[in-house]
Structure 1
């Protein structure tokens, strides 16, 4: 096998590995993002149950003194 063909094949493997690593990182980031979103929703729901104020009141209206 010539050096040129070997270099081309090595470049292909490097590109494929780079794409796979990038895809795995993206999938892990999306999984973490989803888990954090679920945790935030649960905390908001629990706070609503404890305080009796709705989520909109917790986020904005409470800061303005309304509600």
Structure 2
């Protein structure tokens, strides 16, 4: 055993690393999908904050 205890969820998915970059309908792919979606959503919010909103212009939410 190393200096750090191992995380119990580290290999909880498919008996392999949960952060492995796997393709297909695997738990690892779904984790990466969620992470990248969060990054994309944050990027859109920052883009919108800077005044480059396409959505507001199309929907005419703010005149």
Larger radius of gyration: 1
In the superposition, the TM-score normalised over structure 1's length comes to: 0.46
Q: Calculate the TM-score normalised by the size of structure 2.
A: 0.48
